[in-house]
Amino acid sequence: MTEPHTWPTGRLLSVAARLVEHSWQRFLATRDLTHAGLIVLHLLADGPCSQRSLAQSARVTDQTMSRTVERLHRAGYVSRDADPHDRRRTIISVTGEGREVHAEALRAEREDPQVLGAVQDYEALRGQLVELVMSLGVDRAVDLRPPAEPD
């Protein structure tokens, strides 16, 4: 059971995620950024956005997004302004520096064959992951497993 091919799929995914994210460490650390912040910059590329919809798009809780945005703001990559129409809301916009570092990241990922080149059909893998995320991520609130025989 010590070989990966016998592992539960969830574990396989999380280990793979950490390995890939680890390969970004040097890039991110030198820019006072983490991958949690990076995906926010990615999501903001289309334009400003409320913090809540940011959380929903990124598939994290509002609380987690709150903290991530706070760090991004401290690093100078996003700005936070109150929505004049609904003062509960905070509108997040990317700054020039944020746009810059995001562009760098996109370039780095595109020119990054050595890390993920190990996988035979990289695009197929991505396709299946997208499928998985889209089908399971539509409503994170639901309980995916049935009551599960309560012993």
Partner DNA sequence: GTCAAACGTTCAGCGGGCTGAACAATATCC
Partner DNA sequence: GGATATTGTTCAGCCCGCTGAACGTTTGAC
For DNA, the binding residues (CB under 7 A) are 14, 18, 34-37, 39, 50-52, 55, 59-64, 66-71, 86-90, 140
Please list every residue from 33 through 72 that binds a second copy, using CB under 8 A: 35, 38-39, 42-46, 57-59
Nearest to 141 by CA among 59, 70, 72: 59
Q: Which is nearer to DNA, 5 or 26 (CB)?
A: 26
- CB-CB contact of 77 with 95 (8 Å): yes
Angle at 14 between CA 117 and CA 51, to 5 degrees: 100
Within 10 A of 75 (CB to CB), how many other CB atoms are there? 17
Within 10 A of 13 (CB to CB), how many other CB atoms are there? 13
Binding to a second copy by residue 5, rule CB under 8 A? yes
Please list every residue from 97 through 136 that binds a second copy, using CB under 8 A: 105, 108-109, 112, 114-116, 118-121, 124-136
Q: Residue 107's binding partner, choosing from a second copy, DNA, none, with beta-carbon cut-off 5 to 8 A by kind?
A: none
